[in-house]
Structure 1
Amino acid sequence: MNSPKTGIIILAAGESSRLGYPKQIARFQDKTLLQWAIDAANGANVDKRVLVLGAFKDEIKKTFSGASIPNIPNPNWEKGMASTLVKGLEYLQKINPVDQVIIMLCDQPFVDAKILNKLIAAQQKSGKGIVACKYSKTFGVPILFTKKYFAELEALTGDEGGKKIASANEDDLELVAFPKGKTDVDTEADLRDLNL
């Protein structure tokens, strides 16, 4: 049995209103938050990757090597996260469509290739259609969906994300423990806490 083709979408189109400047270029240790995400995606055992940019895309593009990961703009980023997700999914489905997709954000600095590979392994082992990371009594991104959920993902609007679909299909949901997944960056204080 061939292993399913996996794609990764990094959602990085938001304007980080709470931080006051693009969180994609905020620095943690010696790299930008976005670079941590790109390195994780590039290190994972996946077939295709795409980074979707929106607000401040020109400024953000200067901070990483364009050749390091395919990147596309979402001109409708102001419509919310769902439009960015759909844009990424459309890109992954164009040539050599993928069988499953991992959705990740650029503000979880502890996401690495290891956890992304764990999601893929958990899907193969469990056969479930959705595999999410579990942290802080909840679950969320990074999150994997098999293609049976692609139509539902493409129907999301506004700031809806994959969690809505996962919550509605808990019988088809496998969880992977990832306590550090609760760490994300929304404010200057979050960034300071990280860099302590």
Structure 2
Amino acid sequence: MTTAGLVLAAGAGRRYGMPKALVRDAGQLLVDRSVAALRQARCSPVVVVLGAAAAEVRATADLDGVTAVDNPLWDTGMGSSLRAGLAALADTDATATVVLLVDMPGVTAAAVRRVAADAGAADLVMAGYDNDRAGHPVLLGRDHWAGVARQAVGDAGARAYLRANRAAVRVVPCADVADDHDLDVAPDA
């Protein structure tokens, strides 16, 4: 059993002012930080979905050993990127995948390891944070990929599917090892 890693990094970052995959935080590209968290958690393979500024991300980021997938529909929202990433994983032997959003630099390898622990094809797992808030990273067992892909439309990724299958979702506490806040706007905006 292997757990893959999937980074959604295709957006233009309109509110931020640039594609978030190219944002440097503490000297590191956000896309590199996401890939590093998945690698350190021993996710394999690692897939990164690119869209806006894909050529620049490829030229700038450390994507060695990563499968970079272009999402030509990136401007339709996160749903198309999730579908593209899951399609790229279809021919692998992964039993599950951990999904990371590129704009969440506080998600750590420790959180990924917790969410992915003992993952199987039937599992749905979310990281848990303060005030009973569930968030990223999210693990999608392979048995759910087709259902997630059908419901991933517009700016909605797996949210609708996870809500519809709430009883099956396991929430793993991660607030002590990660922060799930996203970089929505640039610090000087």
TM over 0.5: yes
Gap regions ≥5 residues in structure 2: none
What secondary structure sits across from 1:157 in the alignment? coil
CA contact (8 A) 2:135 2:180 kept: no
Q: 1:28-87 deviations in whole A, cap 9, x for unaligned?
A: 112111111111112122231100000111122222133242211101111211111111
Query: Which residue does 2:70 correspond to in 1?
Result: 73
Gap regions ≥5 residues in structure 1: none
Give me the whole-angstrom Cα distance separating, in 2, the residues matched to 1:28 and 1:185. Answer: 10
Query: Which residue does 1:34 correspond to in 2?
Result: 31
The answer to whether 1:176 aligns with 2:178 is no
Q: 1:118-149 deviations in whole A, cap 9, x for unaligned?
A: 1111646xx97211011243212210011221
Give me the whole-angstrom Cα distance separating, in 2, the residues matched to 1:51 and 1:130. Answer: 21
* AA of the residue aligned to 1:85: L
* AA of the residue aligned to 1:157: V
In percent, how many aligned pairs have the same letter?
Answer: 27
Q: Select the residue among 48, 51, 62 that pairs with 1:51.
A: 48
Give me the whole-angstrom Cα distance separating, in 2, the residues matched to 1:182 and 1:131. Answer: 15
Provide the TM-score with structure 2 as the length reference.
0.89
* AA of the residue aligned to 2:123: G
Give me the whole-angstrom Cα distance separating, in 2, the residues matched to 1:97 and 1:149. Answer: 15
Provide the TM-score with structure 1 as the length reference.
0.86
The answer to whether 1:129 aligns with 2:123 is yes
C-alpha spacing 1:16/1:136, structure 2 compared with 1 (3 Å): farther
What secondary structure sits across from 1:149 in the alignment? helix
In terms of fraction of residues, the more helix-rich structure is: 1
Give me the whole-angstrom Cα distance separating, in 1, the residues matched to 2:158 and 2:43. Answer: 19
Give me the whole-angstrom Cα distance separating, in 2, the residues matched to 1:32 and 1:5. Answer: 26
* AA of the residue aligned to 2:79: A
Q: Select the residue among 133, 145, 150 that pairs with 1:150.
A: 145
Give me the whole-angstrom Cα distance separating, in 2, the residues matched to 1:148 and 1:105. Answer: 21
Query: Which residue does 1:139 correspond to in 2?
Result: 134
> 4+ runs of 1 displaced by more than 6 Å?
none
Q: CA RMSD in A?
A: 1.9
What secondary structure sits across from 1:38 in the alignment? helix
CA contact (8 A) 1:24 1:32 kept: yes
Give me the whole-angstrom Cα distance separating, in 2, the residues matched to 1:40 and 1:182. Answer: 13
Query: Which residue does 1:15 correspond to in 2?
Result: 12
Q: Select the residue among 154, 157, 171 that pairs with 1:161.
A: 157
CA contact (8 A) 1:136 1:182 kept: no
- Aligned residue pairs total 184
